[in-house]
Amino acid sequence: AQTVTQSQPEMSVQEAETVTLSCTYDTSESDYYLFWYKQPPSRQMILVIRQEAYKQQNATENRFSVNFQKAAKSFSLKISDSQLGDAAMYFCAYRSARRWGKLQFGAGTQVVVTP
Amino acid sequence: DTGVSQDPRHKITKRGQNVTFRCDPISEHNRLYWYRQTLGQGPEFLTYFQNEAQLEKSRLLSDRFSAERPKGSFSTLEIQRTEQGDSAMYLCASSDSATNEKLFFGSGTQLSVL
Protein backbone atom coordinates (compact mmCIF):
# COMPACT_ATOMS: atom_id res chain seq x y z
CA ALA A 1 0.00 0.00 0.00
CA GLN A 2 1.12 3.49 -0.70
CA THR A 3 1.61 5.99 2.10
CA VAL A 4 2.27 9.70 2.01
CA THR A 5 4.03 11.42 4.90
CA GLN A 6 4.18 15.11 5.67
CA SER A 7 6.33 15.60 8.74
CA GLN A 8 5.77 19.32 9.24
CA PRO A 9 2.42 20.11 10.89
CA GLU A 10 3.00 23.85 10.50
CA MET A 11 5.39 26.18 8.73
CA SER A 12 5.63 29.93 9.18
CA VAL A 13 7.02 32.32 6.57
CA GLN A 14 7.25 36.07 6.21
CA GLU A 15 5.76 37.80 3.22
CA ALA A 16 8.10 37.81 0.21
CA GLU A 17 10.22 35.02 1.70
CA THR A 18 10.52 31.41 0.62
CA VAL A 19 9.21 28.32 2.37
CA THR A 20 9.72 24.66 1.55
CA LEU A 21 7.26 21.93 2.50
CA SER A 22 8.41 18.33 2.76
CA CYS A 23 6.69 15.20 1.55
CA THR A 24 7.85 11.62 1.33
CA TYR A 25 5.96 8.66 -0.03
CA ASP A 26 6.26 4.94 -0.17
CA THR A 27 5.43 2.91 -3.24
CA SER A 28 6.63 -0.10 -5.17
CA GLU A 29 5.32 1.25 -8.45
CA SER A 30 7.36 3.06 -11.07
CA ASP A 31 4.61 4.96 -12.83
CA TYR A 32 2.62 7.42 -10.77
CA TYR A 33 1.70 11.05 -10.26
CA LEU A 34 2.35 13.39 -7.38
CA PHE A 35 0.39 16.48 -6.47
CA TRP A 36 0.29 19.39 -4.09
CA TYR A 37 -3.16 20.66 -3.14
CA LYS A 38 -4.00 23.81 -1.23
CA GLN A 39 -6.99 23.99 1.13
CA PRO A 40 -7.81 27.53 2.31
CA PRO A 41 -10.38 28.26 5.03
CA SER A 42 -13.11 27.98 2.38
CA ARG A 43 -12.30 24.23 2.48
CA GLN A 44 -12.16 23.85 -1.29
CA MET A 45 -9.17 21.82 -2.39
CA ILE A 46 -7.24 23.55 -5.16
CA LEU A 47 -4.56 21.89 -7.27
CA VAL A 48 -1.28 23.77 -6.96
CA ILE A 49 1.10 21.65 -8.99
CA ARG A 50 1.54 18.12 -10.31
CA GLN A 51 4.48 15.96 -11.27
CA GLU A 52 4.57 12.86 -13.46
CA ALA A 53 7.03 10.30 -12.12
CA TYR A 54 8.43 9.53 -15.58
CA LYS A 55 9.51 13.14 -16.04
CA GLN A 56 12.88 14.04 -14.62
CA GLN A 57 12.30 17.76 -14.91
CA ASN A 58 10.81 19.36 -11.82
CA ALA A 59 7.42 20.99 -12.34
CA THR A 60 7.00 24.74 -11.90
CA GLU A 61 3.89 26.89 -11.72
CA ASN A 62 4.63 30.57 -11.26
CA ARG A 63 5.88 30.97 -7.67
CA PHE A 64 5.46 27.27 -6.90
CA SER A 65 8.05 24.66 -7.75
CA VAL A 66 8.83 21.13 -6.67
CA ASN A 67 11.95 19.15 -5.98
CA PHE A 68 11.17 15.60 -7.09
CA GLN A 69 13.71 12.98 -6.01
CA LYS A 70 12.36 9.67 -7.31
CA ALA A 71 15.02 7.42 -5.83
CA ALA A 72 14.58 9.01 -2.41
CA LYS A 73 10.78 9.09 -2.83
CA SER A 74 10.73 12.73 -1.88
CA PHE A 75 8.54 15.48 -3.28
CA SER A 76 8.96 18.90 -1.69
CA LEU A 77 7.12 22.10 -2.56
CA LYS A 78 8.81 25.49 -2.61
CA ILE A 79 6.74 28.63 -2.38
CA SER A 80 8.72 31.68 -3.45
CA ASP A 81 7.86 35.31 -2.75
CA SER A 82 5.18 34.23 -0.27
CA GLN A 83 1.95 36.19 -0.21
CA LEU A 84 -0.76 36.49 2.45
CA GLY A 85 -3.07 34.56 0.12
CA ASP A 86 -0.77 31.56 0.29
CA ALA A 87 -1.84 30.92 3.88
CA ALA A 88 -3.65 27.58 3.85
CA MET A 89 -3.31 23.89 4.52
CA TYR A 90 -1.16 22.15 1.92
CA PHE A 91 -1.57 18.47 1.13
CA CYS A 92 0.80 16.23 -0.76
CA ALA A 93 -0.93 13.46 -2.71
CA TYR A 94 0.00 10.35 -4.66
CA ARG A 95 -1.87 8.60 -7.45
CA SER A 96 -0.94 5.38 -9.17
CA ALA A 97 -0.95 5.50 -12.97
CA ARG A 98 -3.04 2.32 -12.91
CA ARG A 99 -5.69 3.54 -10.49
CA TRP A 100 -6.70 6.96 -11.66
CA GLY A 101 -9.59 7.27 -9.25
CA LYS A 102 -7.74 7.13 -5.98
CA LEU A 103 -5.60 9.89 -4.51
CA GLN A 104 -3.64 9.12 -1.36
CA PHE A 105 -3.17 12.27 0.73
CA GLY A 106 -0.73 13.15 3.47
CA ALA A 107 -1.85 14.73 6.75
CA GLY A 108 -1.10 18.23 5.58
CA THR A 109 1.10 21.19 6.51
CA GLN A 110 -0.41 24.44 7.70
CA VAL A 111 1.35 27.43 6.13
CA VAL A 112 1.17 30.67 8.10
CA VAL A 113 2.23 33.85 6.32
CA THR A 114 3.18 36.83 8.49
CA PRO A 115 3.36 40.42 7.23
CA ASP B 1 -18.33 26.45 -15.58
CA THR B 2 -19.92 26.80 -12.18
CA GLY B 3 -17.61 24.39 -10.39
CA VAL B 4 -18.48 21.37 -8.28
CA SER B 5 -21.48 22.01 -6.07
CA GLN B 6 -22.28 20.16 -2.86
CA ASP B 7 -25.45 20.33 -0.83
CA PRO B 8 -25.92 20.87 2.04
CA ARG B 9 -22.86 22.69 3.35
CA HIS B 10 -23.58 21.60 6.89
CA LYS B 11 -25.66 18.80 8.33
CA ILE B 12 -26.33 18.10 11.99
CA THR B 13 -28.08 14.88 12.80
CA LYS B 14 -28.73 12.58 15.70
CA ARG B 15 -27.10 9.22 15.97
CA GLY B 16 -29.13 6.55 14.21
CA GLN B 17 -30.64 8.86 11.62
CA ASN B 18 -30.09 8.57 7.88
CA VAL B 19 -28.51 11.39 5.89
CA THR B 20 -28.05 12.01 2.19
CA PHE B 21 -25.64 14.39 0.49
CA ARG B 22 -25.71 15.56 -3.07
CA CYS B 23 -22.90 16.45 -5.45
CA ASP B 24 -23.27 18.18 -8.80
CA PRO B 25 -20.05 17.87 -10.80
CA ILE B 26 -18.83 20.16 -13.53
CA SER B 27 -21.24 19.46 -16.38
CA GLU B 28 -18.88 17.92 -18.92
CA HIS B 29 -17.01 15.79 -16.40
CA ASN B 30 -17.64 12.05 -16.64
CA ARG B 31 -15.70 11.08 -13.49
CA LEU B 32 -16.85 11.73 -9.97
CA TYR B 33 -15.17 11.02 -6.64
CA TRP B 34 -16.13 11.02 -2.97
CA TYR B 35 -13.62 11.61 -0.19
CA ARG B 36 -13.95 12.00 3.57
CA GLN B 37 -11.84 14.34 5.67
CA THR B 38 -11.64 14.31 9.45
CA LEU B 39 -10.13 17.11 11.52
CA GLY B 40 -6.38 17.38 11.17
CA GLN B 41 -6.16 14.76 8.44
CA GLY B 42 -5.95 14.67 4.70
CA PRO B 43 -8.91 13.46 2.65
CA GLU B 44 -9.47 9.72 2.46
CA PHE B 45 -10.78 8.06 -0.67
CA LEU B 46 -14.28 6.59 -0.46
CA THR B 47 -15.43 5.77 -3.98
CA TYR B 48 -15.44 6.90 -7.59
CA PHE B 49 -17.60 6.69 -10.69
CA GLN B 50 -17.06 6.83 -14.38
CA ASN B 51 -20.37 7.93 -15.84
CA GLU B 52 -22.95 5.92 -13.87
CA ALA B 53 -20.64 2.99 -13.07
CA GLN B 54 -19.15 2.79 -9.58
CA LEU B 55 -15.65 1.47 -10.27
CA GLU B 56 -14.10 1.24 -6.84
CA LYS B 57 -15.26 1.41 -3.28
CA SER B 58 -12.95 1.81 -0.30
CA ARG B 59 -12.96 -0.61 2.60
CA LEU B 60 -13.68 2.49 4.69
CA LEU B 61 -17.20 2.36 3.35
CA SER B 62 -19.22 0.05 5.51
CA ASP B 63 -22.55 -1.41 4.47
CA ARG B 64 -24.19 1.68 5.94
CA PHE B 65 -22.77 3.80 3.15
CA SER B 66 -24.07 3.84 -0.39
CA ALA B 67 -23.30 6.09 -3.32
CA GLU B 68 -25.11 6.43 -6.60
CA ARG B 69 -24.79 8.33 -9.82
CA PRO B 70 -27.94 7.28 -11.62
CA LYS B 71 -27.65 9.15 -14.90
CA GLY B 72 -23.98 9.85 -14.91
CA SER B 73 -24.54 13.41 -13.78
CA PHE B 74 -25.13 14.27 -10.09
CA SER B 75 -24.30 11.83 -7.31
CA THR B 76 -25.71 11.10 -3.88
CA LEU B 77 -23.97 9.66 -0.84
CA GLU B 78 -26.24 8.16 1.78
CA ILE B 79 -25.26 7.14 5.29
CA GLN B 80 -27.73 4.96 7.15
CA ARG B 81 -27.93 4.68 10.94
CA THR B 82 -25.32 7.36 11.46
CA GLU B 83 -22.70 6.97 14.19
CA GLN B 84 -20.60 9.62 15.91
CA GLY B 85 -17.57 8.32 14.04
CA ASP B 86 -19.19 9.38 10.79
CA SER B 87 -18.70 13.02 11.74
CA ALA B 88 -16.42 14.45 9.07
CA MET B 89 -16.34 16.60 5.99
CA TYR B 90 -17.46 14.79 2.87
CA LEU B 91 -15.78 16.06 -0.27
CA CYS B 92 -16.86 15.51 -3.84
CA ALA B 93 -14.64 16.02 -6.87
CA SER B 94 -14.98 15.59 -10.61
CA SER B 95 -12.74 15.33 -13.64
CA ASP B 96 -12.93 14.46 -17.29
CA SER B 97 -11.18 11.49 -18.77
CA ALA B 98 -9.09 13.64 -21.09
CA THR B 99 -7.34 15.31 -18.17
CA ASN B 100 -8.03 12.80 -15.43
CA GLU B 101 -5.20 13.90 -13.25
CA LYS B 102 -6.83 17.24 -12.50
CA LEU B 103 -9.59 16.91 -9.97
CA PHE B 104 -11.91 19.80 -9.21
CA PHE B 105 -13.22 19.70 -5.67
CA GLY B 106 -16.38 21.07 -4.14
CA SER B 107 -16.44 22.87 -0.80
CA GLY B 108 -17.69 19.79 1.02
CA THR B 109 -20.53 18.86 3.34
CA GLN B 110 -19.68 19.04 7.03
CA LEU B 111 -21.53 16.30 8.94
CA SER B 112 -21.90 16.39 12.70
CA VAL B 113 -23.50 13.39 14.39
CA LEU B 114 -24.70 14.10 17.92
Give mean pLDDT in consecutive 10-residue pieces for chain B, a chain of 114 residues.
89 97 94 94 94 89 91 93 96 84 90 97
Is residue A46 less than 8 Å (CB to CB) from chain B?
yes
DSSP assignment of A54-95 equals T--SPPEETTEEEEEETTTTEEEEEE-S--GGG-EEEEEEEE
Is residue A93 less than 8 Å (CB to CB) from chain B?
yes
Give the residue from A46, A57, A43, A52 showing the smallest Cα distance to A95.
A52
- For chain B, helix (H) and strand (E) counts, in that order, are 0, 11
Write down the pLDDT at residue B22.
Answer: 98
Write down the pLDDT at residue B1.
Answer: 53
Low-confidence winner among A10-14, A51-55, A65-69 (lowest mean pLDDT):
A51-55
Write down the pLDDT at residue A43.
Answer: 87
Tens digits of per-residue pLDDT, A94-114? 999 888 788 999 999 999 999
**Residue bearing the bigger pLDDT, A56 or B76:** B76
Q: From B38, which residue of chain A is nearest by alpha-carbon distance?
A: A107
Looking at the partner chain, which of A45, A91, A101 has a beta carbon nearest the beta carbon of B55?
A101
Write down the pLDDT at residue A65.
Answer: 97
